[in-house]
Structure 1
Amino acid sequence: MAKRVLVVEDNALNLKLFCDLLRAHGYLPEPVRDGRDAVAKAREMLPDLVVMDIQLPHVSGYELIQHMRADPRLRAIPIMAVTAYAGGDDEARIRAAGATAYVSKPIAVLRFIEEVKALA
């Protein structure tokens, strides 16, 4: 059975790219463009992995990670942060917030898929 991946990304092109890559590698992506819907969708589908942008409108990826980590049903689901934040402290801050993995944008396709395979 294919692994389900919740993809939280507000940029339509990035969302399509991530979902297309996941499908091409045998995963079942579930796209969510509005971070305000991400936790409810995660509770509904209980994905094997969450791929999440950090820079989202309305609610930050940091907040979403904290909400998911506080939820007993969601806390064990790996979260891969995919973000344009690429400064020296950014990865440490994102991991400290509860992300399992970190991939910077623009993504390297092979690295993205390797991280997904390692987590899901």
Structure 2
Amino acid sequence: MNAQPWVAFKIVDRAEWEAALPTGLYAGSAVDLADGYIHLSTAEQVVETLRRHYAGRSDLLALTVDLTRLDEPPVWEESRGGALFPHLYAPLPASAVTAAQALSVSADGTPVVEGTAPWA
């Protein structure tokens, strides 16, 4: 098996992320909380995640997460099509986020990012 990447991405609502910053911990979206873990995507997975789950949304952020900075490493679990996705069973510390880039997703699921997408 290939080594897992050291960077993953979390798509968040800008207001949710900004509300979490004073505490330094992001507990997750409503979906994350319902599932019991924070959903992350690798560079290869994030565009499909945006298409499936965020079509027609704006005022989003793509957080670049340095997985080596996490207090608890992600658990790599099978999901869409049998691919291994990083799942975080703890709050996401803001200190592990190395960048936050604004984006929106068109109605057809195409990400709209100013400049170069962080996963490109």
TM-score tier by shorter-chain length is: under 0.3
Considering Cα pairs closer than 8 Å and 6+ residues apart, tell me whether 1 or 2 has the greater RCO: 2
- TM (norm. structure 2) is 0.25
The structure whose Rg is larger is 2
Structure with the higher fraction of residues in helix conformation: 1
Structure with the higher fraction of residues in strand conformation: 2
